[in-house]
Structures are given as C-alpha cells and as structure tokens.
Amino acid sequence: MNKEEEPKPAPSGSTARAALRAAIRADEKARDEERFGPASEGRRLDAWRCACGWSGGVKELAPSPAGVACPACGGTPEAA
C-alpha cells in the first residue's frame, strides 16, 4: 500500500468540535446576512419620510400591525 491508498484517520474529538463550531458560526453568519436595514446593522433610525410628503422623527411614528405607520396618512414610512 502506498501513501495515497492509506485510509485517513478519523478526526479527534477536539478537531470534530472545532469543525462543528465553525459550521455553526458560518450558518449564523449566513442567517445574519439575510437580515437587512440600518436597524439590523446597529444604527439608529432617527429620521423618517413617507410618500405623502410627511417627514419626521421616530417619536412621531404611529404603531401599526406591520410595525410603524406614517402619522399623516397611515402608510409605511421609509428611513430618510
């Protein structure tokens, strides 16, 4: 038997755990990349605007089933 045909030994317990941790981190990173937007990136959204022409601060936004709503028209505002 030459070196190319010899079976490789199974990874040790610590190597297998390290590989599992690396796979878990890669999965978490991929999941985090699916989230988007300034708030997901740790930034605060202080200014908002709406298609109706309204613009204002976060304290002026109205709650809605979808999250937040424009206080003037009830539409969905976007970060300014």
Q: Are 47 and 57 in contact (CB under 8 A)?
A: yes
- pLDDT for the residue numbered 53: 92
pLDDT tens-digit series, residues 8-17: 766 667 787 8
Share of the chain above pLDDT 90, in %: 5
- The sign one gets for the Cα dihedral 41, 42, 47, 50 is positive
In 51-64, which positions are buried (b, 16+ CB within 10 angstroms) versus exposed (e)? Answer: eeebebeeeebeee
